[in-house]
Amino acid sequence: MIRVGLTGGIGAGKSTVAKTFIERGAYHVDADRIAREVVEPGTPGLAALVEAFGPEILAADGSLDRPALAARAFVDEESVKTLNGITHPLIGARTQELNDAAPADAVILHDVPLLVEGHMAPFYDAVIVVHTDADLRLDRLVNLRGMDADDARARIDAQATDEQRRAVADIWLDNSGTPDELAAQALQVWTERLIPLRDNHLAGAPAPLPTDAVDADETWAAVGARVVNRLWAILGATATKIDHVGPTADPSAASAVPVIDVEVTVADQAAAARAAELLSASGFPRLPGAAEGLHATVDPGRPARVRITVAD
């Protein structure tokens, strides 16, 4: 299975993309729905919130009054920490339950509005960002959803910036057109990127790497940073250093073969063996025919090669 993170600003059009994927078999994990489930009446989550913030956060029917909770939970940093300390573990546990229930060949789609704000991008095999300019999102929220203009603008301003989203986006979908145009983009991503990624992962087979040099691309540094962050999420303390190296890491290069080369440094041979296991299980299998310690990604849209080296 692979895990795909889907995000974008409020009103960007994530639901259209999610619907397109779900219709083709994606296993949907909705972060907003989970956040509501874990604080429904009768749950330990709601009981913990009442204990922390008082019975005034309950509506007349015993359900959570979210505006009342917000009025108490967002007054200072300590209150926000208390809220997150109650809800985040519950959301994480329920998310893991759903992940564990997914079939082995699933494309697990995590629909996470605050994926960027929560620094979750490195934990996905691919991150998809649906982008719409803020002015167009504001217009849609006000005229299509009936939101108050000031409220809509405040929500947009409180979320991640376009630059922050672009920094983590493996796939960037432009929703400045119609829903049908966005659905067509999503279908292309599903067919040409996600299914090959999933199939390569199941087979333990790296995606083919390009061999011809191209003109230097200013996005290589950002892609390299995403690969490095993904590898830290996979390897953790098994690695002592992870660096983007080679021609695509050289800002002065005029051209290069567009492969992100990464060097993973470990302390000893035991750590090297453990790193190889973790990489192979997480979308970076051994590169066939190559020397031991050389791995490559299963993602056809993000060519990357990883070399494990033992520190001197």
User: Would residue 300 count as lying in a domain?
Assistant: yes
Let me know whether 158 and 36 are in one domain: yes
Tokens found for residue 28 = 């949907």
- Rounded to an integer, what distance in angstroms lies between the CA atom of residue 132 and that of residue 134? 6
**Residue-averaged pLDDT of the chain:** 92
Tokens found for residue 36 = 């509501």
What residue numbers does the annotated binding site cover? 11-16
pLDDT at 160: 83
Assign 67 a pLDDT band (cuts: 50, 70, 90): confident
What residue numbers does the annotated binding site for ATP cover? 11-16
Tell me: the pLDDT tens digits for 133-151?
A: 888 878 778 887 777 888 7
User: Would residue 209 count as lying in a domain?
Assistant: no
Let me know whether 46 and 188 are in one domain: yes
Look at residues 160, 153, 158, 159 and name the one whose alpha carbon lies nearest to residue 135: 153
* Other C-beta atoms lying within 10 Å of the C-beta of residue 300: 18
Assign 248 a pLDDT band (cuts: 50, 70, 90): very high
Of the three residues 140, 172, 201, the one that is the final residue of a domain is 201
pLDDT at 253: 92
pLDDT at 125: 97
Let me know whether 32 and 180 are in one domain: yes
User: Would residue 223 count as lying in a domain?
Assistant: yes
Of the three residues 161, 176, 201, the one that is the final residue of a domain is 201
Let me know whether 189 and 223 are in one domain: no
245: pLDDT strictly greater than 90: yes
Domain hosting residue 256, numbered range: 214-310
Q: Which position has the higher pLDDT, 148 or 171?
A: 171
Give the neighbor-by-neighbor strand order of the sheet with 294-296: 241-245, 260-266, 304-310, 294-296
User: Would residue 206 count as lying in a domain?
Assistant: no
Contact criterion met (CB below 8 Å) for 141 and 157: no
Amino acid at 22: I
Let me know whether 193 and 225 are in one domain: no
pLDDT at 137: 78
Let me know whether 9 and 135 are in one domain: yes
The percent of residues in the chain predicted with pLDDT above 90, rounded, is: 74
User: Would residue 90 count as lying in a domain?
Assistant: yes
Let me know whether 16 and 98 are in one domain: yes
Of the three residues 201, 236, 264, the one that is the final residue of a domain is 201
pLDDT at 154: 78
User: Would residue 208 count as lying in a domain?
Assistant: no
Total number of domains in the chain: 2
Assign 158 a pLDDT band (cuts: 50, 70, 90): confident
Let me know whether 37 and 186 are in one domain: yes
pLDDT at 146: 78
Contact criterion met (CB below 8 Å) for 114 and 87: no
CATH number, domain at 148?
3.40.50.300
pLDDT at 10: 79
Let me know whether 37 and 182 are in one domain: yes
